[in-house]
Amino acid sequence: MKKIVLSSLLMTQLFTVNVFADNELKTSDVFVTATRTPIPKNNVIADVTTISSEDIERAGSSSLPELLQRQPGIEISNLGGAGKVSTLSLRGTSSTHSIVLIDGMRVGAATSGFSAIEHIPLSQIEKIEILRGPASSFYGQDAIGGVIQIFTKKGVDGFKPYVGIGYGSYNTANFQSGVRGGNNQTTYAINFSALNTDGFSAFVPNPNNGVANTENLDRDGYKNYSLSSSLNHKINQDYEIDFQYFLSKGKSKFDNRYADYSPGVDFKNETKLESYSANLKGQINKIWQSSIRVGQSTDKYLDRQKFNPNIGFNREEECGGLCGAQDSSLVDLYKTTQNQFAWQNNIKLNKGSLTLLYDFLEQKIKTTDLYEKTQRTNHGLMIGYGVIEDKHNFQTNIRKDFNSAYDDAITGNIGYAYSINSNWTVSSSYGTAFVSPSFNFLYSLADSFALGNPNLKPEKSKNLEGSIRYNDDSGSVSLTIFQNKIDDFIIYTAKDAFGSRTSTQNLNKAEIQGLTISGDQFFGHLQIKGSVTAQSAKNEDTDKYLPRRATALGNMNLNYYIGYWNIGIEETFSDKRFDDKENTVKLSGYALTNIVADYKINDKLKLNLRLNNVFDKDYSLAAEGTSGFKYQTPGRSLFTNLRYDF
């Protein structure tokens, strides 16, 4: 892809139209993540997307990674179906370059550096906010690509229990139930869901892989149980307190390309995600609002087998003796605990508003493997200013992070938007961000071929972007152009890796350039909605494409509303990608077609029907090694869901 010249930059926000919209400001019309403060979405300068509760219900039995894959500028890698490791790329950045929040709390593994989004059920989610672009000046480390914030279901007025069931292909069954209620002083919610699927073989069957192929020819199923709850109480007209809790437990089977070294081992893992927090918010006086949030999140991953060098076949020619094998009598534990605190103050000025923030993050790991260090802390201070005056919208902020593992980091952002008239807006912004190296990259001593390098520096980015957008009562359209340059890009070098503490280094620079066109429009009862992203994500030193990044991707939705029916067609497509940094393992491009139908049987009962991958396309979102171990994806599959609101 030829270099995109960014001579004039403009920035966008996405606007989603609801066919049943009214004049009242709805939850989906308010955006929190871009400024850490609830503001009307139309006032957000950044490049954002909201996934509403209606969108989530319409997704039916889809997983969170599948729903995110249908959003502008997002690519997903998946290792073989439901409950398998899934990572995301926001606008061409790496899987470790984005933050995932659940109700304001960071979730993820400090060992790997990414979040287990495959274990967050849609049945627990009320709304998702996606912020694309640098966000370290708001959230600190790990926000080069952006932030995805998940809001679980909250309390509402009255007493509203619900129950839902579903069934579909691969013997997939799901169940959800809960109660949401409250009054004008106190609201509450408790939500439970369960999922069970037989799945399919995570690896694509390939006879060329010999014994390993035979060992992996099984169904790799998945089970999940999840719970979320919330309680909000207004102490008086100025103060309120809320409590949030989220829990997800998943059990999954998976494939291993070295399975022929461990015959008879049925590869399994277990994952537990948990977060809880308390938030006290108050109006100190007419101009000063303050909030304090404290909480903790954990990511616990357990392999139900562990490599044992003292067992296995005797292969003199390969290992000089025993090669070792996976031992089902042993387990491998990786647990991350993140203790979090934030004190935020919003102050109204004569013109504009000021935001002052202090936050604290402590990351601790507990593993069965050996790590040089198992804990680090970060203190962050941020000051931000925003003002909307007539047709002008200006926002800027600066932040300094003090981390126990590396030098202090300063990041900032500045953005400006101009309303040409009631329909047209142009904007541009510039921001810096950084990513702290994961514990695996820094401190791991377990794998002699991938020893940690304690001298690694954080990856740093400079992002310039801009957009032009059009908005009216029937739809919207936007064009966003972006350029993101990343220094000290972390890369693993396999050559001479054994026993080396420098196999992972800050060797390269990466540059990501691209543009996204997105929009939606109503023509009577027909809605057309979609996006196209063209991008070039390359290692500047080698001129190779970054792994698993396509040069073109997008989606298109057609929805027709008639009576109690909503019938739609979803199209998701991607150009070819390379699975490795040398660009030798090719992942072919794909185009997927889904058909979805919603029917309102009565005021309380709803039916959702979904036929995914209508044309039964074969495609892979990831591979392993260079010998043909590609991960499988679902074929043609049918799902039905019923939901009853009491």
Tokens 């073109």 correspond to 552
For range 616-645, the mean pLDDT: 92
Cα separation, 596 vs 594, in Å, equals 7
Residue 9 counted as domain residue: no
Q: Is 120 exposed, middle or buried (0-12, 13-18, 19+ CB in 10 A)?
A: buried
Say how far apart CA 274 and CA 338 lie, in whole Å. Answer: 10
The closest alpha carbon to 416, from 385, 448, 371, belongs to 385
pLDDT level of residue 321 (50, 70, 90 thresholds) = low
Q: What is the DSSP letter of 614?
A: T
What's the CATH number where 178 sits? 2.40.170.20
Q: Which domain holds residue 576?
A: 27-645
Average pLDDT over residues 235-260: 94
State CA 496 to chain mean position distance: 34
**Residue type at position 403:** N
In this predicted structure, the answer to whether residue 59 has a pLDDT above a threshold of 80 is: yes
In sequence order, what DSSP letters do the residues of 506-541 get, joined into one string?
Answer: EEEEEEEEEEEEEEEEEETTEEEEEEEEEEEEEETT
The residue type found at 185 is Q
Residue 16 predicted with pLDDT over 90: no
Asked, for residue 5, whether it belongs to a domain, the answer is: no
Q: Tell me what percent of the residues of the chain surpass a pLDDT of 70.
A: 92
Report the C-alpha gap between 416 and 430 in whole angstroms. Answer: 10
pLDDT band at residue 357, thresholds of 50, 70 and 90?
Answer: very high
Q: Where are the alpha helices (DSSP H) in 148-303?
A: 210-215
How would residue 320 be classed by pLDDT, with cut points 50, 70 and 90? Answer: low
Q: Is 346 domain-assigned?
A: yes
The whole-angstrom separation of Cα 457 and Cα 420 is 43
Strands 146-152 and 98-102 turn out to be: parallel
Q: Is residue 323 part of a domain?
A: yes
Instruction: Kindly report, residue by residue over 471-524, the tens digit of the pLDDT.
Output: 998 999 999 999 999 999 998 776 555 667 777 888 789 999 999 999 999 999
Phi-psi region of 543 (alpha: psi -120 to 50; beta: other; left: phi over 0): left
More confident residue, 173 or 407: 173
**What counts of helices (H) and strands (E) characterise the chain?**
6, 40
- Asked whether residue 3 is assigned to any structural domain, the reply reads no
Tell whether the model's pLDDT for residue 21 goes beyond 70. no
Q: Write out the H or E segment, with its range, that includes residue 356.
A: strand 353-367
pLDDT digits (tens, 9 = 90+) for 510-526: 999 999 999 999 999 99
Please state, as a whole number, how many other Cβ atoms lie within 10 Å of the Cβ of residue 468: 18
Task: Examine the pLDDT at 316 and tell me if it is beyond 60.
Answer: no
The answer as to whether 12 is a domain residue is no
**SS3 letters for 537-583?**
EEECCCCEECCCCCCEEEEEEEEEEECCEEEEEEEEEECCEECCCCC
What are the C-alpha distances in Å from 184 to residues 27, 29, 38, 237, 291? 17, 21, 20, 11, 21
Which one, of 171, 173, 257, lies nearest residue 219 by Cα? 171
Average pLDDT over all residues of the chain: 91
Residue owning tokens 């932030």: 147
Query: Given pLDDT bands bounded at 50, 70 and 90, which one contains residue 258?
Result: confident
Instruction: Write down the pLDDT at residue 12.
Output: 32
Within a domain: residue 187? Answer: yes
pLDDT at 23 over 70: no
Residue 1 domain-assigned (yes or no): no
Residue 10's pLDDT band, with cuts at 50, 70 and 90, is: very low
Q: How far is CA 462 from the centre of its chain?
A: 21
pTM, whole model, 2 decimals?
0.93
Q: How many domains, in total, are found in the chain?
A: 1
Q: What is the mean pLDDT of the segment spanning 44-68?
A: 94
Structure tokens at 539: 């290692």
Say if CB 134 and CB 433 are below 8 A apart.
yes
Exposed / middle / buried, residue 272 (Cβ in 10 Å: 0-12, 13-18, 19+): middle
Return the pLDDT at 443.
Answer: 94
pLDDT at 514: 97
